[in-house]
Amino acid sequence: PPFCALGGPRLYNEVLPPGVLNVICSSDKDLGRHLVEHPGVDKISFTGSTATGKHVLSGAAKTLKRVTVELGGNDPAIVMPDVDPAKVAPYLFRGALGNSGQVCMAIKRIFCHESIYDELCAELANVAAGTKFGNGMDKDVVYGPVNNQMQYDKVRELLADAVEQGAEVLCGGIPPASKPGQGFLFPPVVLKNVKEGVRIVDEEQFGPVVPVIPYKTTEEAIQRANATTYGLGASVWSGDVDTAADVAAKLVAGTTWVNDHGNIIDGAPFGGAKESGIGHEGGEEGLLAFMQLQVVKVKKGQAKFSRL
C-alpha cells in the first residue's frame, strides 16, 4: 500500500467524525470500477492517466455521476531568444525532472529558440552533471528512482526509441533492463536533436527524460507546443514578461506559467484542457464541483391555496 498517502488520512481521522474520510486499499483490480459504478456514489474525483480517466468517465456515465478528472500532460516550455541559458537552465531542469519527472505537470518538452539552442542544451547537461542522483534515503540525493517496473520499462523503451531515431544523449543514458531486486534507478537524461514524430516527444514519458527541440519563430513554437492531445500545463521563459504573457495566452493549457513551471498556488483552480482533464481542483471552482446546484422558487404574495 502507499504508506505516505495513508499517513495524511490517519491524521485527519483524529479530528474528523467517523465515516467522513475512508481509505480503501486492495489488490482487486476491479475495485475502482465497482466504486465508479456504485449507485451510492454521487461524485467522482480522479487523478491519473488519460487512459484510465476515460475508463472512469465511461463507468460514471452509466448513472450520470458528476466527475472531475485531472489527467496526464505533455507540458511544453517555450524558451525565448532573449534569455540567458546559464541562468534559466537550472529552473528548466527542476521543472522537467523534479521527482525524477514523475509529476503530471512537469515540463515534458522544451522548445528553445535556435539562436541559443546549443548553449541551452549544454547548460542543461551541466546542471545534470552537478546534481546528486541515487537512493532517495541517502544524504544530499536530489533525484531518486522511478516508481515501479512498468514505468521504468516504459521510459527506457521511449528513450531507446529516440536514440534509435537519431536523438543525441547529452547526459545519462539507456539504463540496463530491469531485473528483480535491482531497483529502478534511472539517471536524468537530456536529449538533443529530437523532434515531433518521435514517441518521447509525442507521448507523456512521466520519467527523468526531457527532449530539447529547436524552433525558428515564436508563432512556430506556439503551433508546435499546441500540437498535442494534452493540455495540462505550459510555460514561457523570457526577459520580457509582457511578451511572454502574450505568448502564454495563446497556449492551450489549463495553467500556463511565465518564468516558472509547476508552482501551484493555494486557492487557485487547477485543471486541464483537451485530454488532460475535465473540471478543476482547488479554488472556488474546485469546491463548487462538489456541490449540487439547486434552485428553489417561491411565488410570493397572497397564498391562494390556504384553507383560511
> Strands, DSSP E only, in 107-249?
107-113, 168-171, 189-192, 209-215, 233-237
Q: How far is CA 14 from the centre of its chain?
A: 31
Q: How far is CA 192 from the centre of its chain?
A: 22
Give which of 175, 163, 97 is closest to 130, Cα–Cα: 97
> Strands, DSSP E only, in the chain?
43-47, 66-70, 75-79, 107-113, 168-171, 189-192, 209-215, 233-237, 255-258, 277-278
C-alpha cell at 179: 531485473
- 3-class secondary-structure state, position 268: coil
114 tagged catalytic: no
70 tagged catalytic: yes
Phi and psi, residue 109, nearest 5°: -140, 130
Catalytic residue among 25, 37, 104, 164: 104
Cα distances from 292 to residues 28, 82, 264, 295, in angstroms, run 31, 48, 26, 10
Write the Ramachandran bin of 100: left for phi over 0, alpha for psi from -120 to 50, otherwise beta: left
Catalytic residue among 4, 14, 37, 70: 70
Whole-angstrom Cα distance, residue 106 to residue 300? 55
Q: Which residues are known to be catalytic?
A: 70, 104
